[in-house]
Structure 1
Amino acid sequence: MVIKQSIKMTTGALLIGSFAIAPHAFAKSEVKISGQVSRALTFADNGVDDDVLFTDNTNSGTRFRITGETDAVAGITVGFNIETQYQDNASDQVDINDSDSSSAFRSRKRELYFQGGFGKLSLGQGDGAANGTSEVDFSGTTIADYSGQDLYDGISFVDSSGNAVVSNGQAFDNFDGLSRNDRIRYDSLNFGPVGFAVSAGTDKGEIAARYSQKLAGGSKVGAAIGYVTDDADDFQQLGLSASYLASNGFNITGAYGEQYLNDSPLDPTSAYIKIGQKLGAHNLSVSYTLTEDQVASNVEAERINLAYVYHLKQGVELFADYENAQIDADGVEDKNLFSIGSRVKF
């Protein structure tokens, strides 16, 4: 109780200075500490070598956060979100025979927001307006497989001599919105099942629309589309996705994205389709990803994923995933990857 009260008092003091609101405004603020631990054991074969890797699953990595909000004035809620990631052997950094055992803190979010009848206004480091628009997914298997799939991003495709050609992370991309950048963002109130968002950072801008609707009989459908312009890195991109979950647990998800590189002849595209089934706490899915012109002009990269996630209880998941990945370039070996792991939220 003493510790909890101290956290409230300290955070309240910081927020008072940030928001320039009267001291009594945060006297009744609620501050929460939450987070998760996310680990995986991966058996990897790149066609020449194989290895066993202990990783932190970057699909949704180990992190902790402090959040809080209060009713500052009538009709307006003020809040903050501080989130830090702490990964050891991040799955998007390790490779066969090259395990990175270093640990690193990484700032994810440092933002404040004002929310009321006007919508929501956010300021600071956080998600861009279009972030997540390529990742609408009701399958229940996203910790193991989703359109972005970071679980094997660090593992390289190799040639017949074992020389690295390109990593999974370089061969595949879902062209989602910008993640965790310094920006100002506005989210509108929903117009029925539809909401809009726009954000602007340094030489960057995003706009997005999202749709979510519960249907008769307990099924639901969701979709999103987002557009990004990034003058700093000289590209624009479009991403969209949709997912449908039937009342019997059957689900289907799709995503598409494309990028326009101003100083490159490449215009990469990505398509993703997933079919799944929920059976109580059990979630199964199979997905196919095709990326074109990402590695090189007229070169395709493909992968098939079979995923299973068991929701043991609220906040506790066990998972398994198998991936076969290949590039249609001469001399590049196919990869076979298998992981088991867990995510525990607190």
Structure 2
Amino acid sequence: MKTKILVIAPGLCLAAIPAWSQDLTFTHPSGATATFYGQLNLTYQHVDDGEESNDDVVDNGNSVSRMGFWIDMPMGENKLRMNFETGLGFKTTSETSQLEDADWIDWQRTDLRKFEAVYIANFGSVWVGQGSMATDGVAEIDNSGTSLAGYANLPDMAGGYEFRDGELLSGIAIGDVFKDFDGGRRFRIRYDTPKFNGFMFSAAFGQEILAEDDDADYYDIAARYGYESEMFKADAAIGYAWKNADEGDTEQLIASTSVVHRPTGLNATLAMGDGDDDSGNYGYFKFGWTGDVIALGSTAVSIDYFEGNDYVISGSDSKSWGIQAVQAFDDYGIDAYLGYREYEFDDDTGADYQDISALILGARWKF
């Protein structure tokens, strides 16, 4: 599939250069189009583990830098779409830590995000290739406008850093004890139903082909709902995923919802997840506001709180709070942001884990 996409795209683009209209979209005389897109999202990261602090300029793991293109081919009343997307391989906020100084640029095949095709018809949509499983995004619905600075997947901000037990590193990282269990991207086949009164249902089966030593089979199902009016915008989703592997099966239940009151800009986001294999559970809440403070674009601010239990060690507690702010500059395709978060972990072993604080300050440019 990847080879076909790469071969078709240059032909469409070269044939359609004179028809370049806007937003990097090229149109072929047949009616097919190729649309290129991408983003650059570098950020300053400061992390303090209670004993030492580290500063870096890296890619923002909340929304990594990437490039890609869509090819759309009409087929009567139906449509065939193909998508290729890759991360740029920059070191991210989730990869920094006290122990390793990873290369700033190290593109690997796991940076390939999507190479897929989708056939869209009146019976629904069928996806084939590397891309989102049915539960991808189900735990992370967020209409606050501040997800660039922080959202339910807390490890994206500083997940590689380990908590200190006293002065010594404990071996327990933020990413181990703040998982949101959201579905990922894999080489899969997925089916989405048409929308019925705002509802859509999905199911997928996939395997991991980009990472080594993963022979498991992945299955998931999800239901999504969307509603919009002059007063409210609301989205919700619930999903169930299970993994069949030689070392044992695992199951996860996740859900999230986010509601915006349009006249005031006030919004609230809720998320939850439960690893049925005793890998932890959590609840997440965010409260925010969006509005027009300056004429250049919308302003969004929010606060959030995460509380989890039983990650890594039975009886453990994972707690975090954060604040976020995002300012859009619409004419330039830029979103500037600031995020701050405190991570706290505790268990019944008698260890004295120090809190970790993290700050990011940066801007994302999209085209």
Settle same-fold status: TM greater than 0.5: yes
One-letter amino acid of the structure 1 residue matched with residue 261 of structure 2:
A
- Deviation for aligned residue 1:104: 2.7
1:275 corresponds to: 287
1:219 equivalent among 232, 237, 255: 232
Whole-Å separation in 2 of the counterparts to 1:125 and 1:118: 22
Whole-Å separation in 1 of the counterparts to 2:114 and 2:232: 33
Whole-Å separation in 1 of the counterparts to 2:202 and 2:189: 11
- Deviation for aligned residue 1:87: 2.9
Whole-Å separation in 2 of the counterparts to 1:204 and 1:97: 32
Q: Cα–Cα, structure 1 residues 197 and 6, in superposed 2: closer, same or farther, change >3 Å? A: closer
1:313 corresponds to: 330
Whole-Å separation in 1 of the counterparts to 2:55 and 2:47: 6
Contact 2:12 2:34 in 1 (8 A): no
Gaps of 5+ in 2: 1-7, 16-27, 208-216, 293-297
2:88 corresponds to: 86
Where 2:194 maps in the other structure, the secondary structure is coil
Please report the RMSD computed on the Cα atoms of aligned residues, expressed in angstroms: 2.0
- Deviation for aligned residue 1:37: 0.7
Whole-Å separation in 2 of the counterparts to 1:218 and 1:7: 44
Contact 1:51 1:97 in 2 (8 A): no
- Deviation for aligned residue 1:99: 2.9
1:20 corresponds to: none
2:44 corresponds to: 41
Contact 1:226 1:239 in 2 (8 A): yes
1:18 corresponds to: none
TM-score under structure 1 normalisation? 0.89
Aligned residue-pair number: 323
One-letter amino acid of the structure 2 residue matched with residue 251 of structure 1:
N
Contact 1:252 1:274 in 2 (8 A): yes
Contact 1:135 1:147 in 2 (8 A): yes
- Deviation for aligned residue 1:26: 8.7
One-letter amino acid of the structure 1 residue matched with residue 271 of structure 2:
A
Question: Aligned ranges for residues 331-346 of structure 1 at < 5 Å?
Answer: 331-346=352-367
Query: Does residue 258 of the first structure (1) align with residue 279 of the second (2)?
Result: no
- Deviation for aligned residue 1:338: 1.3
Contact 2:12 2:33 in 1 (8 A): no
One-letter amino acid of the structure 1 residue matched with residue 237 of structure 2:
A
- Deviation for aligned residue 1:160: 1.7
TM-score under structure 2 normalisation? 0.84
Contact 2:91 2:106 in 1 (8 A): no
Question: Aligned ranges for residues 193-272 of structure 1 at < 5 Å?
Answer: 193-202=198-207, 203-215=217-229, 217-232=230-245, 234-247=249-262, 248-261=264-277, 266-272=278-284
Whole-Å separation in 1 of the counterparts to 2:285 and 2:342: 15
CA-to-partner distance for each residue in 1:99-126, whole Å, 9 max, x for gaps?
Answer: 3234233111110111011111110110
Identity over aligned residues, as a percent? 27
Where 1:210 maps in the other structure, the secondary structure is strand
